[in-house]
Structure 1
Amino acid sequence: MVSFDHREPGTDPAAWTTFLAGVGAATVDLAGVGSVVVVAPHPDDETLGAGGLIATAADAGTPVHVLLVTAGEGSHPDSPTTTPDALVTRRRAEFRAALGTLHPAASATELTVPDGGLREHRDELRRALAARLAGAARPTLVVAPWRGDGHRDHRIAGEVAEELVAATPGTALLSYPVWTWHWDTPDAPAAPWERARVLPLDAAVRDRKARALAAYPSQTEPLSPAPGDEAVVDDRHAAHHLRAEEWYFVPDPATDDADADADADADATLADATVPSSRSRASFDEHYARKPEGWDFDGSWYERRKRAVTLAALPRERFRSALELGCATGVLTAALTERADAVLGTDIAAAPLDRARRRAPAARFEQAAFPAEWPAGRWDLVVLSEVGYYLSADDLDRTVDRVLGSLDDDGVLVTCHWRHPDDEAVSDGDTVDARIGARWPRPRLVHHVEDDFVLSVFPGPDVRSVARTEGLAP
């Protein structure tokens, strides 16, 4: 997940202007489009990301419907002068005024998902979008946030839109960036500019977009001079969106193919629409494109201490063959090579494995998306650290079954998971730990719980306590 602060200056809009001049993207053509459906996680996203497209559709007589997911009540969490409830009323009124400026005939559905809570309510958006697409004039253009935009609600909205468009004939998708302009850099861009599309905006459309954005004073102006009341979309940030063109991304065909291979039956996908899916390979690829080291495994005292606790929890001094699932850049893998004769690390993404190989030359590494892709071999140590909550419930169960099927009788599964919220996670550490514990056929050997993480050691049938193994206890 991208970490950024909207109060920081962010990337200079002029730097993007120079970069965009050389992109050479194909032009968005709305001719022949039967209807447009725009997904806006928060009031003003529809204007920032797609206001020019909405206004252009209005001029062409193309019907537009906007799905507003949240009321954006979390925009000023530290404000001393307003409350989330007051912002709900204010921002919904601003949304209606802005949409009327862009497209007077546009319609809208206003969902009641909590701001910042779309991950837990993705099925609500999925149902609303599926219902809207079912009755929309074809061909239908769906416009939604780019899932790599760096905000959790934007990611979930983008994923839901991609999934439904892929499963719905007669629809196409354009994804818009909002916060990408702020945190990304044209010197080493993470956004997929090879898949960019551009929509030129004439002067009249640009004027309507500017007036629509001005209809959001709760976002474009400070609520008061007090700290916590700063503008969310200040002039510098607005400059990214008030260009003479709008920029979009089209879906990655390779990702579409991979998704089709993973679940070829689109009808089954829609039937299971309310079940959260595992985090995708593409989302991890996007993460490592932004942060090649992944997380601060080396510098963070939390990470170093957690590794020490994990290694201390191992019930044997030495293991024959260890498997680390989701090894990332190999920091824990390197430590495991000092405790096991052979170590294999796997990760869903290819990028971190290059670093892992350099960091832990004594280990082997394979790119694999478990549980579907499972390495051959038998293990007396399997480590699942900080990745279980990226799996759907079904994939987590299948992973446990895979471990049980390849673990020696004297082997152990060690799991360790963060207990605080994670914007990219499908579930949480406590849920993962409890689900594995319910599925594992024997009681835990170790169960360590603290505020930050939960760690468990699940034993095979021949594993005894350290004291009994050492002959110190009967």
Structure 2
Amino acid sequence: MVTFDHRDPGTPEADWARCGALHRAPELELAGVDRAVVFAAHPDDETLGAGGTVHRLVRQGTEVRVVVATLGENSHPDSTTFTPQQLAALRREEMAAAVHALTGEGTSPVFLSLADGALTEEQLREPVAEHLAWVEQGEKPLAVCTWERDGHTDHEVLARTVARAAGARGVRCVQYPVWYWHWGSPSRLPRGLVRVPLGDADRRAKKDALAHHVTQVRPLSQRPGDEVLLGEHVLAHFARDSEHFVVSAPDQAAVFDRVHSDSEDPWAVDTSWYEQRKREVLLGCLPRPHYERVLDLGCSTGALTAALARRAGSVTAVDASDVALRAARARLDDDAAANVELVRAVLPAGWRDEWAPRDLIVVSEMGYFCSPEQWDELLERCATALDPEGHLVLCHWRHPIQDWPLDGADVHREARRRPDLRRVVSHRERDFELEIFEPVPREQG
């Protein structure tokens, strides 16, 4: 079990209060959410990280289920006053009272009663799937869990399990930091952050719920080992007028198979003037009339792929969706099909070493469907795969991307920060941004 020195003040709340990025974070869309499942690793996680949001959801009529993985019996390992079993019993009662304060007397938490400090994905997989199946029955479901980079093993294992399962089902998932506010800093703010403003009633309910976690907000006794865990310097982080969450990246294959199954042309690439014009602008901005080996990432139904094939020796077109690739295969005429290879791969995990080197790599309307970590890895893969005289093309929608961690500005910003790439073409207008990069010669890197 990862533990913190709770006597250490960590990052003062005053520093976070001055962090403009927290206040500027986009608001999480909760309108229409009719079912939500909130996962906690220990009793009090849900109250600290998402208590106000739970109360706000209940106020708007959302059916909310709270699931806690452990009873937090190891919160005071050096206590001589209570055994772990006694603490588990106390924390179970506290959790029930806190959830009642947030959701109403008729709602009780679901206790998995797994071992505190020893959670594994294997033991969590089945119960997580069960509760996601429940929330998935809603018209607009939402899964909420701890953050996978929170610095506590249980928090991170639970988050990974929930995020992967929710992503595969296409259920929107957000993660709440708890200990990050203690050990982190405004300069290390995670990307993909969103906020939920809290009303006075939400904040009062959260405060009342926290007061029920007596074993955490008060000392067990005056004896050594019974010290308070959630002192005022810790609780200050959770008295804000908003709560913050990190958006999880859904599973690309599951999402885009569904999107392409629901519509033959989900992005209107054949009928939208925006799509047609964007392709022509991209093709017109390419620095060379012909490329030998092209990599088209996120090819969807192949409209851009077909155009690139007419200016290339060969094209490898990649998409996460089998449904999209079948449409792309049907689109390509005999001439284009002769020099196009269609590959199903979820990137960056499915990257193939055989794709390097390439003298043109195109990432159009695809980068923001990655998590921040995935996009960093994919950028690295692309930069490394580029021929010394090759080009990397990024082209993305400039407006907010609902329910995904990144947007177009994030995607392009990270590319511009790379010391091994330099921009040679830049085109920005109201709806999309197009940038073309080339490798920086090693002696200049």
Q: TM-score range by the shorter chain?
A: 0.5 to 0.7
Q: Structure 1 residue 140: deviation in Å?
A: 1.2
Cα distance in 1 between the residues matched to 2:167 and 2:118:
24
Matched with 2:201 is: 204
Matched with 2:228 is: 231
CA separation of 1:98 and 1:20: change in aligned 2, threshold 3 A: farther
Q: Structure 1 residue 109: deviation in Å?
A: 1.7
The one-letter amino acid paired with 1:205 is D
Please tell me whether residue 165 in structure 1 is matched to residue 162 in structure 2.
no
The one-letter amino acid paired with 2:202 is V
Matched with 2:389 is: none
The one-letter amino acid paired with 1:5 is D
- Aligned 8 A contact 2:197 2:241 in 1: yes
What do the CA deviations read for 1:229-253 (whole angstroms, capped 9, x no partner)? 1111111111101111101111257
The one-letter amino acid paired with 2:127 is A
Cα distance in 2 between the residues matched to 1:233 and 1:196:
24
Cα distance in 1 between the residues matched to 2:151 and 2:30:
28
Please tell me whether residue 143 in structure 1 is matched to residue 144 in structure 2.
yes
The one-letter amino acid paired with 1:100 is H
Please tell me whether residue 11 in structure 1 is matched to residue 7 in structure 2.
no
- Aligned 8 A contact 1:146 1:175 in 2: yes
Cα distance in 1 between the residues matched to 2:23 and 2:350:
34
Matched with 1:30 is: 30
Q: Structure 1 residue 126: deviation in Å?
A: 1.7
Please tell me whether residue 216 in structure 1 is matched to residue 232 in structure 2.
no
Please tell me whether residue 67 in structure 1 is matched to residue 67 in structure 2.
yes
The one-letter amino acid paired with 1:63 is E
Matched with 2:192 is: 195
Which secondary structure state, in structure 1, belongs to the residue aligned with residue 149 of structure 2?
Answer: coil
Matched with 2:239 is: 242
Report the identity percentage.
41
The one-letter amino acid paired with 2:13 is P
Matched with 1:116 is: 117
Shifted more, 5-14 versus 94-103: the winner is 5-14
Matched with 1:43 is: 43
Cα distance in 1 between the residues matched to 2:214 and 2:110:
22
What do the CA deviations read for 1:90-114 (whole angstroms, capped 9, x no partner)? 0000000000000014343210210
- Aligned 8 A contact 1:64 1:107 in 2: no
The one-letter amino acid paired with 1:237 is V
Q: Structure 1 residue 22: deviation in Å?
A: 5.7
Q: Structure 1 residue 132: deviation in Å?
A: 1.5
- Aligned 8 A contact 2:146 2:177 in 1: yes
- Aligned 8 A contact 1:255 1:282 in 2: no
Cα distance in 2 between the residues matched to 1:81 and 1:50:
30
What do the CA deviations read for 1:416-439 (whole angstroms, capped 9, x no partner)? xxxxxxxxxxxxxxxxxxxxxxxx
The one-letter amino acid paired with 2:43 is P
After superposition, where does 1:47-446 map in structure 2 within 5 Å?
47-104=47-104, 105-119=106-120, 122-136=121-135, 137-169=138-170, 171-186=171-186, 188-189=187-188, 191-192=189-190, 194-252=191-249, 262=349, 282=373
The one-letter amino acid paired with 2:11 is T
Q: Structure 1 residue 7: deviation in Å?
A: 2.6
User: Aligned residue pairs: how many?
Assistant: 268
Shifted more, 47-56 versus 21-30: the winner is 21-30
Cα distance in 2 between the residues matched to 1:204 and 1:3:
32
**Which ranges of structure 2 fall in alignment gaps of 5 or more residues?**
254-319, 321-344, 352-370, 378-418, 420-445
The one-letter amino acid paired with 2:63 is P
CA separation of 1:233 and 1:24: change in aligned 2, threshold 3 A: same
Q: Structure 1 residue 34: deviation in Å?
A: 2.0
CA separation of 1:222 and 1:22: change in aligned 2, threshold 3 A: closer
- Aligned 8 A contact 2:172 2:250 in 1: no
- Aligned 8 A contact 1:102 1:208 in 2: yes
Cα distance in 2 between the residues matched to 1:166 and 1:253:
4
CA separation of 1:3 and 1:226: change in aligned 2, threshold 3 A: closer
Q: Structure 1 residue 179: deviation in Å?
A: 0.2
- Aligned 8 A contact 2:33 2:62 in 1: yes
TM-score (norm 2): 0.56
CA separation of 1:2 and 1:139: change in aligned 2, threshold 3 A: same
- Aligned 8 A contact 1:99 1:106 in 2: yes
Q: Structure 1 residue 23: deviation in Å?
A: 4.8
Which secondary structure state, in structure 1, belongs to the residue aligned with residue 32 of structure 2?
Answer: coil
CA separation of 1:210 and 1:22: change in aligned 2, threshold 3 A: closer
Which secondary structure state, in structure 2, belongs to the residue aligned with residue 76 of structure 1?
Answer: coil
The one-letter amino acid paired with 1:7 is R
Cα distance in 1 between the residues matched to 2:114 and 2:12:
33
Which secondary structure state, in structure 1, belongs to the residue aligned with residue 18 of structure 2?
Answer: helix
What do the CA deviations read for 1:41-98 (whole angstroms, capped 9, x no partner)? 0000010011011100111111011111000001000112111000010000000000
What do the CA deviations read for 1:290-344 (whole angstroms, capped 9, x no partner)? xxxxxxxxxxxxxxxxxxxxxxxxxxxxxxxxxxxxxxxxxxxxxxxxxxxxxxx
The one-letter amino acid paired with 2:123 is E
The one-letter amino acid paired with 2:218 is E
Matched with 2:395 is: none
What is the alpha-carbon root mean square deviation over aligned residues? 3.1
Matched with 1:345 is: none
